[in-house]
């Protein structure tokens, strides 16, 4: 995709768009014009500035990804485009007409014929079948049953769901439900599609699969797609151009190469180079269940040393984690510590625990985990907020994760 665009290629032009949440937007707008910061406005007037002076252009036939962390205003911005949220000031020009000032009838017509939306939670109507859901937009527009179901079936076939037409949404998996959501948006044959975190609720495998479906559909029939996402991988994979938002402000718009090579500021840089990702990732994101765990049964007479040693030998491990019956991590044992206690009949499994080696909380940020991993001779057990074992972090796993983050 080329980045140099002219007005004639633009599908959507957003100019000086603002959104203030609250009952006194005029005062907030006045303060913004005076150059006051939005935190100051919130403190003094209680008005929340959701989107602040957004201006950009979306080209015909491109996938335009709006990216940012949660609270950056990206979901508000996409809802301003079809006026699910009323803009406070500014213009949203779609095909030469300003959505922000357009009459109710015109707006309804635009939403019915030319603009559709896909939602994060799918937002299917639970009491309708798949085909009825897919035909929803046409039904609202007053197309008669036979015709709208015929068109819905065509689209369901495109997304591979024609055999499930008579099912209810609740009978489908998440990935399939979002295919219905996509079909519902496609059935009205819009030239502009808004997708709000459309694949974020899906597991990584389904997410990639749905991205492929979208890209394939896009090759068959070019539409303009505005896609909100917080996932960098996703943005780079499907986006022709990316718009980065922070604190309600559009920080940078460009192709991924543009942004990678010439980041507008430190925030964008941090987003793309992965320097700071350690801060956002925690132990939980890295932990894997590959270690030997031993259950401690304190009430049983036999301490269970031999069984523990046998299992460690079987899996070729030198260290193992001891859990109680509630899966709480008690500590770490080694072959050596077990051997040392084995011949003393008064000793229990708990006596073989290595001193000072405890589980780390799942919420620990990666840069701290990094330090711990160096300190420990063995994999780090990770426990959730209730102390229950959720997995372990080895040096190899951690390094691999960090490398991936850097190159992303």
Partner 1 sequence: MSYKIPLGEWVANGVKWLETNDHGIFNQIGTVINGTTSGIENGLLAIPFVLFAAIFVGIGYWRRGWQFALFCAASLWLISNMGFVNQTLVTLALIISATMISLALGIPLGIWAGRSDRAESVIRPTLDFMQTMPAFVYLIPAAMFFGLGRVPGVIATVIFAMPPVVRLTSLGIRQVNKEQVEAGIAFGCTPTQLLVKVQLPSAMAALFAGINQTIMMALSMVIIASMVGAGGLGNDVLSSISRLDIGLGFESGLGVVLLAIMLDRITESFGVKKAAR
CB of 87 to partner 1, least distance (A): 15
Of residues 27, 29, 102, 168, which one binds partner 1 by CB under 8 A?
Answer: 168
Determine, following the binding rule CB under 8 A, whether residue 126 of this chain makes contact with partner 1. yes
Query: Which of the residues 177 through 216 are near partner 1 (CB under 8 A)?
Result: 184, 188, 194
The neighbour count for residue 74, using CB atoms within 10 Å, is: 26
Q: Does 245 bind partner 1 (CB under 8 A)?
A: no
Residue among 177, 200, 195 at smallest CA distance from 65:
195
Q: CA of 361: how far to CAs of 124, 138, 317, 351, 364, in Å?
A: 38, 51, 23, 23, 6
70 binds partner 1 (CB under 8 A): no
Which residues are CB-neighbours of 35 under 8 A, at least 6 positions away? none
Minimum gap (Å) between residue 123 Cβ and partner 1 = 4
The C-alpha atoms of residue 6 and residue 252 are separated, in whole angstroms, by 18
- Binding partner 1 by CB under 8 A: which of 125, 275, 318, 339? 125
Relative to beta strand 241-246, strand 224-229 is unpaired
Window 85-114: residues binding partner 1 (CB under 8 A): 108-113
Q: Which of 12, 117, 251, 312 binds partner 1 (CB under 8 A)?
A: 117
Sheet holding 319-323, edge to edge: 293-295, 319-323, 329-334
Choosing from 120, 162, 191, 208, the residue that interacts with partner 1 (CB under 8 A) is: 120
Based on the shown chain and the rule CB under 8 A, indicate whether residue 82 belongs to the binding site for partner 1.
Answer: yes
Task: Name which of 19 and 111 has its Cβ closer to partner 1.
Answer: 111
Cβ–Cβ < 8 Å for 333, 349: yes
Please state the length of the chain.
408
Q: Establish if 167 lies at the interface with partner 1 (CB under 8 A).
A: no
Applying the rule CB under 8 A, the residues between 135 and 154 that interact with partner 1 are 136-137, 139-141
Question: What count of other Cβ atoms lies within 10 Å of the Cβ of residue 103?
Answer: 8
Please report, as ranges, the residues that interact with partner 1 according to CB under 8 A.
79, 82, 84, 108-113, 115-117, 119-128, 136-137, 139-141, 168, 184, 188, 194
């Amino acid at each position: 995709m080329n980045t140099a665009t002219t007005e004639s290629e633009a599908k959507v032009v957003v100019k000086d768009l603002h959104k203030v949440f609250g009952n006194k937007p005029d005062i907030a707008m006045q303060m913004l014009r005076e150059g006051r910061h939005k935190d100051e406005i919130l403190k003094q007037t209680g008005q929340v500035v959701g989107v602040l002076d957004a201006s950009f252009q979306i080209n015909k036939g491109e996938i335009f990804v709006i990216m940012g962390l949660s609270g950056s205003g990206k979901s508000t911005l996409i809802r301003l485009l079809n006026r699910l949220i009323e803009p406070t000031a500014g213009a949203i020009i779609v095909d030469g007409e300003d959505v922000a000032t357009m009459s109710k009838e015109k707006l309804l017509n635009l939403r019915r014929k030319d603009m559709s939306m896909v939602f994060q939670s799918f937002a299917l109507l639970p009491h309708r079948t798949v085909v009825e859901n897919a035909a929803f937009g046409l039904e609202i527009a007053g197309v008669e049953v036979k015709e709208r179901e015929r068109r819905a079936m065509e689209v369901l076939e495109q997304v591979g769901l024609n055999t499930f037409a008579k099912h209810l949404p609740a009978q489908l998996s998440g990935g399939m439900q979002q295919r219905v959501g996509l079909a519902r948006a496609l059935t009205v044959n819009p030239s502009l599609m808004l997708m709000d975190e459309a694949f974020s609720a899906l597991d990584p495998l389904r997410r990639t699969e749905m991205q492929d479906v979208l890209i394939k559909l896009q090759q068959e029939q070019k539409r303009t797609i505005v896609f909100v996402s917080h996932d960098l991988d996703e943005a780079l994979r499907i986006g022709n151009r990316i718009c980065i938002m922070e604190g309600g402000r559009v920080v940078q718009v460009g192709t991924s190469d543009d942004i990678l090579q010439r980041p507008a500021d430190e925030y964008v840089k941090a987003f793309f180079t992965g320097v700071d990702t350690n801060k956002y990732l925690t132990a939980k994101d890295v932990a894997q269940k590959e270690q030997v765990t031993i259950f401690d049964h304190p009430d049983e007479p036999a301490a269970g040393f031999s069984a523990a040693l046998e299992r460690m030998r079987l899996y070729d491990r030198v260290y193992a984690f001891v859990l109680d019956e509630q899966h709480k991590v008690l500590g770490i044992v080694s072959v050596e510590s077990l051997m040392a206690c084995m011949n003393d009949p008064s000793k229990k499994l708990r006596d073989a625990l290595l001193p000072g080696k405890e589980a780390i909380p799942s919420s620990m940020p990666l840069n701290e985990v990094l330090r711990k991993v160096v300190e420990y001779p063995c994999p780090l057990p990770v426990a959730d907020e209730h102390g229950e074992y959720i997995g372990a972090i080895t040096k190899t796993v951690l390094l691999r994760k960090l490398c991936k983050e850097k190159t992303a």
